[in-house]
Every structure is written in structure tokens, then in C-alpha cells.
Amino acid sequence: MDDLTNSKRFIRTYNQIDAALRVQGDMKRSISYTEAVRKAARTNSFVAKYEDQLIDYGRLRNAIVHNSDPDITIAEPHSEVVEEYEKIAKLICTPPLAVKTVCKKVVSTIEYNVKLKEVIEYGFKTGFSNIPIFKDGMLIGVANGQKMIDVIGKKIYEKKDLCDYIENTTIEEVLKEFTNDNYYTIAPETITLDKVLNLFTENRRLLVVLITKTGTLLEPPVGIIALSDIMDINKILDNYNLDDNQ
């Protein structure tokens, strides 16, 4: 990677993480590195995932640095340890953007007055299970496949004429029957994967994250992330290496 010794690379990485945690969490310089990691782990999914490892590496940094002169090291960590620490540092300091990794592109949207039958047919043809619905240029909801099935099941239970309901009910009317108003949210295209994970962690009912340019309801979506994508997000993070570009 460079001509620095393992110990110098390790200390540089420690300083990068320490600085990033304090800036991102608006933490005072007076708190220790370990305390900064503990606090950041409450809101940062990446830090939470590597919390114990980060703290162990902090102890290792203290062990290899000479007490009277931080520029003098008294031990050299293994290359594997340094590389792992650098990988974690990149995740924390420059986390991958959702739109450049797991985010699925939104090809098109559907208007509020389209009938449920057409929406179901569109979902079948495209394979999309989450379709943004717009009215007068504003997002009013997401036609989620499971939620539409739940509504149809409810109509069957109520002994409604299912064919009539599917053919003559607009998707706007169907959205009003969805039981959870917090099943989707909007985020800007600058959102990183750790922030996406935080959204799903903070709202256990969240099924969909829509990505727009600045994160408003008045913009066409540029991408979409579903709850089912979390496994893919974790795979991306596990394989995120030092040569990856944002």
C-alpha cells in the first residue's frame, strides 16, 4: 500500500477513525477513543458491527506507542491486523453510497388513478414488488406487493366481488387501505449504506427506502432499497476492500 511500517499505518488508521468518530458524532476531544467508539456504536451500524474489534485495536495502539513519544513505536502489528483495521476505517470514514451499490434503479412510476389490475400486471411484467405512486407530481405512497396481497385477502374475507375490485379500484384507493403509514421513507442520493441500515433498525416496520436527488416527495425516485436487500448490504460491506471506489 505504501512505504510506511505496519505500526505507522496502524497509528495513522487509529487517528483517522478517532477523528471521524468525533466529527460525525460531534464529540468533545476530552472523551477517550473507547468512549467515542461506544457512543458512535449507538447510531452508526458500521461502528456497532466492529465495536469490540475497534476497542481492541485501540488498546493495541496504546500498547505499541512509546509513552513519552507517540512517534516512537515499540512493536509492529501483523499485516493482516493492519489491513483489517484499514478496511474498517474506510467503512467508517468513507462509507459506500447506496445509489452506487445495492440500490435498485427505478425505471418508472405509476399515477394515482391507475387501476389495481394494471399495477399488479405491471409488477408481474417487471418483477418490481415496490412501485412508487405519484399524484400531481408528488409521491403519495409505494405499491408494495405484500401489502396489496393483504388488501386483496381482506376483500376476499369481506366476500367482495374480487374481479370488480381489482378492475375498478384505483391504486390510490388501495394505498388508503394499507395498515402501516410508516412502511416507506425518503432519503437523498447522498445516503450511505450505514445510514440505510440505521433507517431499518430504527423503524422495524420499514419495508422500503426510496432514494431521490435531495430526499423530497416532489422528486422522481432514482433508486429503491427494500428490506429484503439487507442481506446484500451486509455482503457488500463484508467484501468492501481498500481499492473500492465510491
pLDDT computed for residue 143 by the predictor: 96
Domains identified in the chain and CATH numbers: 6-94 (no CATH), 100-238 (3.10.580.10)
The pLDDT confidence band at residue 105, using thresholds 50, 70 and 90, is: confident
Strand 184-188 and strand 208-212: the pairing is parallel
pLDDT band of 125, cuts 50, 70, 90? very high
Q: What is the mean pLDDT of residues 137-151?
A: 95
Q: Report the C-alpha gap between 33 and 65 in whole angstroms.
A: 15
Mean pLDDT of the 219-246 span = 78
pLDDT of residue 68: 61
pLDDT confidence tier of residue 67, bands split at 50, 70 and 90: low
- Amino acid occupying residue 78: H
Q: Is the pLDDT of residue 160 over 80?
A: yes
Please choose, from the candidates 219, 226, 218, the residue with its C-alpha nearest in 3D space to the C-alpha of residue 98: 226
φ, ψ at 244 (rounded to 5°):
-65, 145
**pLDDT, tens digit, 9 for 90 and up, residues 6-62:** 999 999 999 999 999 998 888 888 899 999 999 999 888 889 889 999 999 999 998
Query: Where residue 3 falls among pLDDT bands split at 50, 70, 90?
Result: confident
Greatest alpha-carbon span in the chain = 82
Query: What pLDDT is stored for residue 70 in this prediction?
Result: 65
- pTM, entire model: 0.76
Return all residues near 229 (Cβ < 8 A) that are at least 6 apart: 102, 104
